[in-house]
Amino acid sequence: MSAPLRTQVAIIGAGPAGLMLAHLLHRCGIESVVVESRSRNYVESRVRAGVLEHGTAELLNDTGAGERMRREGLVHRGIALRFDDCSKRIDFPDLTGGKTVTVYGQQEVVKDLIAVRLGAGGSILFECEVIAVDAGDDPSICYRDAAGAEHAVRADFVAGCDGFHGVARAAIPPDAVTIYDHAFPFGWLGILAETPPVSEELIYVNHARGFALVSMRSRTISRMYLQCRNDEDLGLWPDERIWAELRERLGSDRGGPDVRPGKMLQKGVTPMRSFVCDPMRYGRLFLAGDSAHIVPPTGAKGMNLAIADVYVLAEALDAYYGSGETALLDAYSQTCLRRVWKTQRFSSYMTRMLHRFDGQVPFDYRVQLAELDYVTSSRTAAASLAENYVGLPFESTADLRKVPT
């Protein structure tokens, strides 16, 4: 093993959380090294979430990483909730004092943050698999590079931003955390297709045959989902069946938006689950993003929650290196978990309002329709949904937008 590399913060994972953390720390004058098991091409082409909360988009803009997002991102001023073959719109700016969301793929955010990181001379070690994490008084990580050689990084702190299946959370003794886990009894069959979006805004559908969502990645690429079984056999879903089911759930033959079949670029099934690890810290190891929590995608919160985590962590590290203050680091987990549980609440609410459940009786379905009718006809209820969808304020007041001197 070569001599250990020394840095202030070792970051595991080059997803949105790890890259944004590195970017914010750089702007505070704090050194970091990002270690990523996959190649640069893989992480830049990995299609994931695509809705940025108002605060997430503002943070990208204010920290110099939002130039391409401003050019190519699609600003959305609302969503439609479709039920009983009728669409009702939730107007975000009207209900939230002017806030919007931006449709811009997670992989595009990753590309932008990698470019900013490398452009500033920062370090990202691609194709380097972390095999050990020490969260003690002298923190370190050990990784194996593409050639099989092992290396160590010593740091003051380790940030585990390596996702649900990563090594960071696995390095914490099981008796040091409490795990909250809930698996929903269905998944999403998702497609990415070369076809123009059927609407300028997202449409969430509650239908007797199951949930559907029509979204987009650009003005020519659509992202669409159908509720399905968790163990759905994709072989039973040829393209023609998918397009027919989308048209049925959207009510295309009954005055609803019509779907134009196009070339399928991607097809897969995503299980639905909620997960929280409490606390999000062990010693000098801090978890952020999917390594600490998973939310069902109905509320479009996964990437945004990860960005909110590292915003809090960067503020805490800035205070530590600036004045030796540890109060914000000590409060990191509690601060993040307040937002995490509010987000779990909203994501669960959206999921339960819009999906069909095993054993659901006609009474349950009518209650769902009544909830949809209420939330789209009561300004107070609609404002609550809109406030949560565009994003709650970050749990932080520090000015992380400064450029280091």
Q: How far, in Å, CA of 173 to CA of 240, rounded? A: 49
Domains for the chain: give ranges and CATH numbers: 5-50+105-177+279-356 (3.50.50.60), 181-272 (3.30.9.10)
What pLDDT is recorded for position 403?
A: 44
Q: For tokens 């069959």, what's the residue?
A: 189
What pLDDT is recorded for position 397?
A: 46
Q: For residue range 34-82, what is the model confidence (pLDDT) as tens digits?
A: 999 999 999 998 877 789 999 999 999 999 999 999 999 999 999 999 9
Q: Which pTM was predicted?
A: 0.94
What pLDDT is recorded for position 394?
A: 85
How far, in Å, are 188, 190, 247 from residue 234 at the CA level? 11, 11, 19
| Active-site choice (143, 225, 282, 389) | 389
- For 99, phi and psi rounded to 5 degrees? -80, 150
pLDDT lower than 70: segments of the chain:
1-2, 396-405
DSSP state of 291: G
Q: 122-161 in b/e burial notation, b at 16+ Cβ within 10 A?
A: bbbbbbbebeebbbeeebbbbbbeeeeeebbbbbbbbbbb
Is 297 in the active site? yes
What pLDDT is recorded for position 46?
A: 81
Is 402 in the active site? no
How far, in Å, are 21, 134, 315 from residue 137 at the CA level? 22, 9, 21
Helix axes 106-119, 16-27, angle to 10 degrees: 30
| Active-site choice (197, 297, 320, 355) | 297
- For 178, phi and psi rounded to 5 degrees? -110, 130
Q: How many beta carbons lie within 10 A of that of residue 340, not counting itself?
A: 23
Is 389 in the active site? yes
What pLDDT is recorded for position 396?
A: 58
What pLDDT is recorded for position 45?
A: 87
What pLDDT is recorded for position 154?
A: 97
What pLDDT is recorded for position 404?
A: 43
Q: How far, in Å, CA of 21 to CA of 32, rounded? A: 9
Average pLDDT of the chain is: 94
How far, in Å, are 43, 163, 380 from residue 14 at the CA level? 7, 10, 40
| Active-site choice (23, 54, 76, 207) | 76
| Active-site choice (26, 54, 207, 301) | 301
